[in-house]
Amino acid sequence: MKPRVLVTRANFPEVLEFLRAHFEVEDNQADEALTPEVLRERLSDKDGVLTLPIDRVDTELLQACPRLKAVCNIAVGYNNIDVAACTAHGVMATNTPDVLTETTADFGMALMLAAARRMGEAERHLRAGLWQGWAIDQFLGMDVNGASLGIIGMGRIGQALARRARGFGMRIRYHNRRRVAEAIEKELQAEYADLDTLLAESDFVVLTLPYSPEAHHLIGAEQLARMKPTAVLVNLARGGVVDDAALAQALKAGKLYAAGLDVYEGEPVVHPGLLELENVVLMPHIASATRATRVRMSMTAARNLVAALGGEKPPHLLNPEVWDKRRT
């Protein structure tokens, strides 16, 4: 009998076809949101699952699903998965790095440009029928070319963003838990800086770091106050890295020029203070949203699942100690 797996939300036909060659698949092509209770019920007789960032995998779920052997997240980030709890229950957890790097960096540049040049505000103005023609002082924005960029989180996406920023002649600083190799700094013409210096001296600050408890509200009222009132903040990371309430207050008070956001605390709910503002570009968590990239992400997760349930080490295993324990 084939292993039984669940795909928690709608996915691409080619991904489901690939999975059905290996497993008995329960899909959710109706794309109905699964409550924690329904997710536990659906997984109670499953060996594996393909999850999205909206699916919470915690101790309570794992205790209710004793057959579960692998949780394969269709995302780079995995703060929806309690990896320690998975390890304690002998469940392999995986993610999908690498495949969305370039697409997300493209989107990061787009979000910077949209926020700096007031594109969202200008389009709303035009669609409302308010545009009366060209004016010399209409929707004046900020130049990106030649500006200073501070990147917080110099991993794959941060480095890809820096390469694009060089094409705009931007001066690049970065902050990271550890300095990157000197060769990478030289290639990117990027200067390492402490967080306070980066915030104080950057025209644009872009967040590309992974979420962790230590990174929760890394950018709060105190950090926002250190930024230039002419600065733009862009969050490509995860909701919770920024204190959204503090950001809304700073934008409303003119302590920050603009923001571009793709992620939020408590998604899909957006802080109401942000919704009231014109000087913030709000996107619905779509930084990796091209069909080619989302298919690659889904197939990467599917291959992780095939390996995990087929007796092979998944290529993107987050808790290798589970695999090591199984091999002893």
Q: Is the preceding peptide bond at 268 cis, omega within 30 degrees of 0?
A: yes
Residues 6+ apart with CB under 8 A from 140: 118
Q: Could you tell me if 173 and 270 lie in one domain?
A: yes
Domain holding 307, by residue range, is 4-97+291-327
- Report yes or no: 243 and 220 within 8 Å, Cβ to Cβ: yes
Angle between helices 101-116 and 156-167 (to 10 degrees): 50
Q: Could you tell me if 198 and 309 lie in one domain?
A: no
Q: Is the pLDDT of residue 327 over 80?
A: no
Strand partners of residue 175: 152
Across 31-45, 105-119, 219-233, 314-328, least confident range: 314-328
User: What per-residue confidence (pLDDT) applies to 19?
Assistant: 98
User: What per-residue confidence (pLDDT) applies to 325?
Assistant: 86
What are the Cα distances from residue 258, in Å, to 159, 175, 227, 283, 319? 23, 21, 11, 14, 39
Q: Could you tell me if 176 and 74 lie in one domain?
A: no
Residues 6+ apart with CB under 8 A from 305: 5, 19, 23, 48, 49, 50, 70, 72, 94, 314
Q: Could you tell me if 42 and 154 lie in one domain?
A: no
Q: Could you tell me if 32 and 154 lie in one domain?
A: no
Q: Is 261 helix (H, G, I), strand (E, B) or coil?
A: strand
Q: Is the pLDDT of residue 326 over 90?
A: no
Segment 262-269 shows an average pLDDT of 94
Q: Could you tell me if 228 and 105 lie in one domain?
A: yes
Q: What is the pLDDT of residues 280-300, one digit of tens each?
A: 999 999 999 999 999 999 999
Across 118-122, 189-193, 321-325, least confident range: 321-325
For position 241, which CATH number holds?
A: 3.40.50.720
Q: Could you tell me if 270 and 296 lie in one domain?
A: no
Cα separation, 236 vs 170, in Å, equals 19
Q: Could you tell me if 10 and 40 lie in one domain?
A: yes
Q: Is the pLDDT of residue 208 over 70?
A: yes
- Report yes or no: 166 and 189 within 8 Å, Cβ to Cβ: yes
**Domain edge (last residue) among 247, 263, 282:** 282
Q: Is the pLDDT of residue 328 over 90?
A: no
Q: How confident is the model at residue 1 (pLDDT cuts 50, 70, 90)?
A: confident
Q: Could you tell me if 125 and 90 lie in one domain?
A: no
Q: Is the pLDDT of residue 218 over 70?
A: yes
Q: How confident is the model at residue 274 (pLDDT cuts 50, 70, 90)?
A: very high
Q: Could you tell me if 270 and 299 lie in one domain?
A: no
Q: Could you tell me if 278 and 146 lie in one domain?
A: yes
- Report yes or no: 241 and 217 within 8 Å, Cβ to Cβ: yes
Q: Could you tell me if 187 and 232 lie in one domain?
A: yes
| Residues marked as catalytic | 238, 267, 285
139: left (phi over 0), alpha (psi -120 to 50) or beta: left
pTM of the prediction? 0.93
> Number of structural domains, the chain?
2
Nearest to 309 by CA among 98, 190, 301: 301
Q: What is the mean pLDDT of the chain?
A: 97
